[in-house]
Structures are given as structure tokens and as C-alpha cells.
Amino acid sequence: MQKHRVLLVCSGHLFGESMETILRAEADVELIGPWGLGEEVCSRVTEASPSVVLIVDDDSQSEASASLTSAIMEDHPEIPIIRAGLTENVVRVVSTHLLPARGMDLIETIRNLPDAGNPSNERSDINNDTKR
């Protein structure tokens, strides 16, 4: 079974520990970390080689979360990032896709993007609905 390598970066508070509990319960998830938000995450990402980075902070839009997201996107655009926090009841999925620089591919991608006003994302593998 191929496992999803999930790098968990969190503040060390209860929410981060809760996410660790959820991830460890999944057989197809290989958890890397948790690493602290203040640690030098970007410099260690290459070695960790995650398939996704999950950033958990009480405030999902904190400066720490935003800075880390930007830095990872800059250095590792191929790695999707998921941000979760307590201040909102959604998780944010940030990913980068590379397209051939052709008009037809660009237009097709625009047409297939999910509705920005709808938090449910067909393309997201991880969402805020729980499996019971």
C-alpha cells in the first residue's frame, strides 16, 4: 500500500496534537513530525520528502503560518500545503500546478477550477468533513 507522507508542522498546542492523533490512526498515512512552527522547516523539507505539508496553528491565518506557506511554495512548489486552524471551520489547501504554456491548457484549467465561493473542493483529497 502506498502511503501518503504527511509532514505535520504545528504550534504544539492541543489542536496540533489532535491532528497528530487523526493522522496516526490512518493506515495509509506516514506521519513525519510533528515539527514546530518555529523550527527551520524549509531547510529540512527536501530531506523529509513529504507528499503534503499540513500546517496547524490555532490561528490559521497567523503570520507564522503565512510565512511558512510562502517559503515552502517558493522552495518546493511541487508540494501541496494544507492549513488548518481554530479560527475558521475550513481547511485551506494550497497547491501549485504546472501547465504547458498554451492557451487551450490555460482555458481548460480555468474552466475546471472549483467555484471560489464553495468551500467544498472536488480536487482536494483532504477536507473538513469527517469520516465516521
Partner 1 sequence: MEKVRVLLADDHALFREGLAGIIASQPDMEVVGEASDGLESLVKAQELKPDLILMDVQMPGMDGLEAIRQIKQALPETSVVMLTVRDDDEKLFEALKNGAQGYLLKEIRSQELLAMLRGAMQGEAALSASLAGRVLVEFRRLSRSRLKRDLTDDEEYMLTEREQQVLLQVSDGATDKEIADALTISLNTVKTHVRNILSKLHVSTRREAAKVAKNKGLV
43 backbone φψ class: left, alpha, beta (φ>0; ψ -120 to 50): alpha
Rank residues 7 and 19 by Cβ distance to partner 1 and give the closer one: 19
- Which one-letter DSSP state was computed for residue 101? S
Contacts of 5 (CB under 8 A, 6+ apart): 30, 32, 48, 49, 50, 51, 52
- Which one-letter DSSP state was computed for residue 102? -
Residue from the set 46, 49, 67, 87 that interacts with partner 1 by CB under 8 A: 87
Q: Give the nearest distance from C-beta 116 to partner 1 in angstroms.
A: 22
Calpha distance 29→31 (Å, rounded): 6
Rank residues 61 and 96 by Cβ distance to partner 1 and give the closer one: 61
Contacts 24+ apart (CB under 8 A), 22-27: 23/54, 27/1
Residue from the set 7, 8, 11, 50 that interacts with partner 1 by CB under 8 A: 11
26 sits near partner 1 (criterion: CB under 8 A)? no
Site for partner 1 in 90-129 (CB under 8 A): 91, 128-129
15 sits near partner 1 (criterion: CB under 8 A)? yes
Calpha distance 13→41 (Å, rounded): 18
Q: Give the nearest distance from C-beta 113 to partner 1 in angstroms.
A: 24
28 sits near partner 1 (criterion: CB under 8 A)? no
* Length reported for the chain: 132
Residue from the set 30, 58, 66, 71 that interacts with partner 1 by CB under 8 A: 58
Residues lying near partner 1 in the complex (CB under 8 A) are found at 11-15, 17-22, 25, 58, 84, 86-87, 89, 91, 128-130
